[in-house]
Chain A
C-alpha cells in the first residue's frame, strides 16, 4: 500500500456526509411528489426535513467545514444528476461559508448548540444569497422577484422549524442509543 495519509475528514465521516446528502435529496423529492410541488404545506415540510437532516448530520460529524462540504457535494450531484441549476452554487457556498464563520466565532461545533447555529445561519444566508442570484436573473423586472419572495419566506419558515425538529431528532436518537452525548 502506498504511504498512509492523514486526512481531516476520515472515510467514515465522508460516508456520513454522502449518505445524509442522499437522504436529504430523496426526502425532499418524496415530499414534493407526495404533497404536490406548489402545496405550501409540502414546501414547508420539504425545508423542514432538509434542515432536520442537516442538523443531525452535523451532530454526527462535528467538524468545521462539514456544512460547506455537504453543500458542495449536494449541489454537484444535483447539478449532474437531478437537473438543478448550477447558478445557485455560489449562493449556497457563500451561505455555507458565512455559517462556518459564525460557528467559528461563537466557539466552534463542540458547543452544544454549534450545529444548530450553523444550520440556522446557513438557512438564512443561503436564501438571501439565492435571492440575490434571482435578482440578477430578473433585474430587468425586479417585481418578478416579488413572486418568489413568499415562496422563499415559506421555505424559510419550514427551515426554521427544522432547527427545532432537528434538535428533537438528536434527542430521540440519544433515547434510541444511536447518538451519544
Chain B
C-alpha cells in the first residue's frame, strides 16, 4: 500500500491508472449490481471473464496471483466448513453444480473490480476525485482528512512498533495471541492519543482557515472526465446487459430465492 502514497512513483503502466476514480467507483457499482442480479453460470462467466480482462489491464500479475491465492484459500476454507457441516446435516449439501459455482464467480467478479481500484488509484488523485464529485462539505472534509492521515498514521504505527521493539517487547502473531490485552494497550494507546491530538490541531487549523464558512466550493483542480472513462462505463453496461440477456434466455434464480 505504500506505493499508493508515493507521490513521485513512476507512472504505472497501462491505461487503468489514468482512468478517473469516479469511473472506477461507478464500475464497481455496476459490477456489484450485475453480480447480485445475475444467477446463471453463463451470465456469471461473462461477468467474470470481462472483469478479469479489466483486472489484467492493471499489469500487475503478481498482485493478481496473490489475490487469487488468498481467494482460493478462502474458498477452500468455506468448502471445508460446508463439508464438515454436511456430515451432521446432509440436507445442507444438496446444492448442485450451479449452487457451488455461481457464488464463487460472484465473489471473483468483485475481486477483479476492487483490486484495480485499490492498486491503481493514487491517493493524490483521490483528493481531486473527491473534489470532482462535488460532495457536500460534511462528507468532503472528513474524507479528505482520512486520505491525508492514513499515511501519517501508518508512519506513526511504525514508530510505535519500533519503540516497543527497543523496549524489548516481541510483537508477533503468537505474542498477540498469547497476550491480547497487553498487545492492544501497547499498540493502540499511542494511536488513540495521537488521533486525539491530531484532531485537535487540525480542527483548530480548519477553524482558522475558514473551512466550511463559505457556501460553495470552487475546486482548484479536478480530474477531467475523459473519453476512456465514458467508454469504460459503456463497456461495463454492455457486459451487464449481455449477462442479463443470458439470464433471461437461459434462466436462473431470481433475486429472492433459490431454484
Q: List residues of A whose CB falls within 8 A of some B CB.
A: 1-5, 7-23, 25-27, 30-31, 34-36, 38-39, 41-42, 44-45, 48-49, 52-53, 56, 60, 69-70, 72-74, 76-77, 79-87, 136-144, 146-148, 150, 165, 169, 173, 176, 178
Contacts and interface: CB of A to CB of B under 8 A. Distances in A.
Given A81-B126, A138-B103, A143-B93, A21 B212 contact: no
B7 interface: no
Interface string B222-237: 0000000000000000
Secondary structure dominating the interface of A: helix
Interface string B94-132: 010011101100110010001101110101001001000
Given A19-B199, A26-B150, A137-B107, A45 B141 contact: no
A7 B216 CA distance: 12
A143 B93 CA distance: 7
Given A15-B141, A76-B139, A137-B107, A45 B180 contact: yes
B191 A26 contact: yes
| 7 tightest A-B CB contacts, nearest first | A18-B145, A83-B118, A12-B203, A18-B142, A147-B81, A11-B206, A141-B99
Contacts of B258: 139-140, 142
Most-contacted residue by chain B among A7, A26, A146 (CB, 10 A): A26
23 contacts: A5-B213, A18-B142, A18-B148, A21-B142, A34-B176, A39-B173, A41-B176, A41-B180, A42-B176, A45-B184, A77-B126, A77-B143, A80-B129, A82-B1, A85-B114, A86-B32, A87-B32, A140-B95, A140-B258, A142-B258, A146-B85, A169-B192, A178-B196
Most-contacted residue by chain A among B29, B39, B106, B150 (CB, 10 A): B150
Contact of A39 (B114, B177, B184): B177
A139 B142 contact: no
Given A3-B214, A42-B176, A140-B253, 16 more contacts: A2-B216, A10-B207, A11-B203, A11-B212, A12-B199, A12-B204, A12-B206, A12-B207, A22-B149, A25-B146, A38-B77, A53-B192, A137-B107, A139-B258, A140-B39, A146-B82
Contacts of A139: 39, 103, 253, 257-258
B117 A83 contact: yes
Given A15-B203, A39-B177, A2 B214 contact: yes
A94 B129 CA distance: 26
Contacts of B138: 7-9, 14, 69
B25 A146 contact: no
B77 A19 contact: no
A144 B100 CA distance: 9
Contact of A7 (B137, B171, B203, B207): B137
Given A48-B184, A137-B36, A20 B199 contact: yes
Contacts of B214: 1-5
Interface string B163-183: 000000001110011001001
A81 B173 contact: no
B12 interface: no
Given A5-B215, A25-B150, A49-B188, A83 B115 contact: yes
B220 interface: no
Contacts of A18: 141-146, 148-149
A19 B206 CA distance: 13
Contacts of B81: 146-147, 150
A147 B77 contact: yes
B119 to A, nearest CB: 8
Nearest to A35: B176
